[in-house]
Amino acid sequence: MEIVIKNLSKNYGKKAALEQVSVTIYSGMYGLLGCNGSGKTSLMKILATLLPPSGGEITMNGIPIQKTGKIREIVGQPTNTYC
């Protein structure tokens, strides 16, 4: 699994929860740490296709996040890769 996030933004009215976030996440185990209100839950909801991003691009295994059906087929599925 490879998740590529480029210039991701999420706004709630005039409040920005995520601003221009870019990262590539490869298979493995990761932690997501941050202060209250730093956008952790917004990021996870966007990756789970429960919340649309305000801007930017996300792909999972090369599949654009807008293809929610395809993304939901692979999110949460076990892999043969062990940490």
Work out the average pLDDT over 44-70.
Answer: 95
Question: What CATH number should be reported for the domain whose range is 3-74?
Answer: 3.40.50.300
Note the pLDDT tens digit of each residue in 4-50.
999 999 999 999 999 999 999 998 889 999 999 899 999 999 999 99
Q: Is the pTM of this model over 0.75?
A: yes
Going by pLDDT thresholds of 50, 70 and 90, the confidence category of residue 74 is: confident
**Residue 51: its pLDDT value, please?**
95
Phi, psi dihedrals of residue 69, rounded to the nearest 5°: -60, -45
Please enumerate in sequence order all residues whose Cβ is within 8 A of that of 50, keeping only pairs 6 or more positions apart, or say none: none
